[in-house]
């Protein structure tokens, strides 16, 4: 996954276009959130996703600090979101609310993770194949 991210980072000329693409894709997919609301604050923009009335009133706020967060989440799904959080690309004033909201929508999110496009899945498989655990790659894979 990190190699795929590095490869996408290396094309500086198309980076903003690619990140905008990933942002649109992710927002489109998350707009169907069946329970609760997710508010994504990105610079001067605010995106309210879901919004279905929930008796528990689940609402979570995510602050995007880097456009690369959209790419990481769109490509890596739940694991990409975790990596992006650890790398400081996004945060939340109340992280527990984000976890509760995601837990309440786990089936929906699993379907999103499984519905990545065919070319993207093959691209990901190609990067995994290039980094397979051979004698030459083993030192690089461990580092």
Instruction: Determine the 3-state secondary structure of 22 from DSSP.
Output: helix
Which of 74-78, 107-111, 127-131 is least confident? 127-131
Mean pLDDT for the stretch of residues 86-90: 96
Sorting pLDDT into bands at 50, 70 and 90, what band is 77? confident
Residue 24 has pLDDT above 80, yes or no: yes
pLDDT at 47: 94
Full-model pTM: 0.69
Answer whether residue 101 shows pLDDT above 70.
Answer: yes
Q: Check: CB of residue 64 under 8 Å from CB of residue 41.
A: yes
Dump the DSSP string for 79-137.
Answer: HHHHHHHHTTSEE-SSHHHHHHHHHHTHHHHHHHHHT--HHHHHHHHHHHHHT---HHH
């Amino acid at each position: 996954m990190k190699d795929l991210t590095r490869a996408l980072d290396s094309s500086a000329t198309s980076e903003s276009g690619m990140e905008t693409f990933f942002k649109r894709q992710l927002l489109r997919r998350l707009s169907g959130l069946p329970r609760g609301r997710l508010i994504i604050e990105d610079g001067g923009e605010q995106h309210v996703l879901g919004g279905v009335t929930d008796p528990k009133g689940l609402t979570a706020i995510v602050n995007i600090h880097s456009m690369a967060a959209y790419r990481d989440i769109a490509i890596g799904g739940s694991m990409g979101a975790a990596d992006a959080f650890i790398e400081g690309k996004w945060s939340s004033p109340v992280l527990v609310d984000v976890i509760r909201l995601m837990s309440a929508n786990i089936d929906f999110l699993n379907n999103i993770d499984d519905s990545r496009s065919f070319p993207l899945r093959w691209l990901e498989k190609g990067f995994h194949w290039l980094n397979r655990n051979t004698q030459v790659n083993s030192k690089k894979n461990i580092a």
